[in-house]
Amino acid sequence: MMNNLIILPIILPAMIGAILVFFSKSQQIQRFISVIAMTAILIASIWLAIDVYNNGMRVIALGDWPIPYGIPLVADMFATVMVLLSAVIGVCCLFFAFRTIHPDRERFYFYPFYFFLIAGVNGTFLTGDLFNLFVFFEVTLLASYILIVHGSTAFQLRESFKYLAINVFSSMFFLVGIAYIYAATGTLNIADIGRRVAELEQDGVLNVIAVVLLFVFATKGALFPLYFWLPKSYTGPPAAISALFVGLLTKVGIYAIIRVFTVIFHHDLSFTHHFILVLAGLTMLFGVLGAVAQYDFKGILAYHSVSQVGYMVMGLGIFSPLALAGAIYFMVHHSIVKAALFLFSGVAEKITGSTDIRNMGGLLKTHPAFSWLFFITAMSLAGIPPLAGFFGKFSLIVPGLEETHYVVVAVSLFVGLLTLFSMMKIFSHSFWGRQKHSSTQANIKTGGLLITIAPLVVLTIVMGLAAEPIFFYLLDVAHEILDPSIYIESVLGE
């Protein structure tokens, strides 16, 4: 009975999304249902996380098919952390959307696709089958194609076509990878693949498959050199959608990389994980250089999320318990902070009517609460103690030095400096200086918007102050990830 809890975070949003289609014309009913549903998802995710922490991994065989043949849902601690994260981001973006999304968009199925996206994201976190992972990727992506083009401005249409083309291309390669894996191992259950790969010894063919899958997930997760689609497609849609995407979509790719490269391909570390480490360094560097060159509020943030993806993958490349714990901490931290920053860009756009920071100025004088909340979040992103970003980077750099990966550590420190620089660029352009918005714009009330972002800001402060207990928990998670036999044995029931 308790095992059925796993399916709630997937089936709730999927069903609610379908129900909401029928109420597309009534704003009130849609909002009412979505608030209740999102709260229910949040409660289910918290419950699942606590349950898995206390009682260990939970596995459910869908349709009661015996496990290597049927599709299992697997909730280990890593998955539950991610599901909880998606619920938190989902709640905040939903409330922000209530106040910013144009009523026309609400009438054109904004909420149904919002929930389908969440269903897809939770599905990718919880599934234990490689083909099922592909299906949930597609659910997520199809919802994201629609949300990204929602509103159909010329800019959005142009950029989303490219977004779609590159993602469909990489999805095809995912299928190719699945076909190869099926030919090589004869199974699609992730745990079962892990066991067979261990027996086969990872070389030749399996390394090729590893690179094909890395290519796929790197495209979805925006790693160097496959990040070029991200900045423009994330600047097109309204802030609530951009925030949801940056909080969840790229994390799906990184989650899949970590899952696949810890359970299945962990036998040839000097090849795969070294490769990943190089990619991580390049991703950080090129992402942040892109951000330095930008003057668009959202553009800077979007390029930054590329560079931050590098940090998460760096944790996997280093492959020690602390580094993986740091990578997961960084994923959580980054989702929260970057979602908050994208929502702040929406607030700034609402006040000044622009996203170009050269057209902004003097926000500190007219909107002090907004400015200081932004400042805290930006400092957290840049990694100033005692905020969460500092501990995220610290826990990656320390194991990086211990394992003597000096180059990537140096790159990450340099990137941290440039991150601080570009956050200060936003702050000095838009918040300091001469007031560039009119006095009527100066009187725009932002309290209602800020209340929806405040939980995220509080979370980043709490994550920083309570870093120690959080890291004890995450080290447990990392140990579980680093010992794939735990995952394999609990799924296959041996």
Q: Which parts of this chain interact with another protein (CB under 8 A)?
A: 131, 134-135, 138, 142, 145-146, 149, 152-155, 157-161, 164-165, 168-169, 172, 175-176, 178-180, 182-183, 188, 232
CA distance 226 to 216: 10
Measured CA angle at 89 (ends 84, 91), to 5 deg:
95
Nearest approach, Cβ of residue 165 and another protein (Å): 6
Nearest approach, Cβ of residue 42 and another protein (Å): 29
Alpha helices per DSSP H over 427-446 = 439-442
Residue closer to another protein (CB basis): 184 or 461: 184
The three-state (H, E, C) secondary structure of 134-170, written as one string = HHHHHHHHHHHHHHHHCCCCHHHHHHHHHHHHHHHHH
Nearest approach, Cβ of residue 416 and another protein (Å): 28
Residue closer to another protein (CB basis): 39 or 152: 152
Residue closer to another protein (CB basis): 176 or 289: 176
CA distance 248 to 246: 6
CA distance 387 to 459: 10
CA distance 206 to 352: 53
Q: Tally Cβ neighbours within 10 Å of residue 406.
A: 10
- The 3-state DSSP class for residue 110 equals helix
Nearest approach, Cβ of residue 234 and another protein (Å): 14
Residue closer to another protein (CB basis): 50 or 157: 157
Nearest approach, Cβ of residue 432 and another protein (Å): 25
Nearest to 355 by CA among 259, 239, 433: 239
Residue closer to another protein (CB basis): 181 or 450: 181
Nearest approach, Cβ of residue 162 and another protein (Å): 8
Residue closer to another protein (CB basis): 146 or 453: 146
Nearest approach, Cβ of residue 130 and another protein (Å): 10
Nearest to 302 by CA among 426, 196, 183: 426
Residue closer to another protein (CB basis): 142 or 492: 142
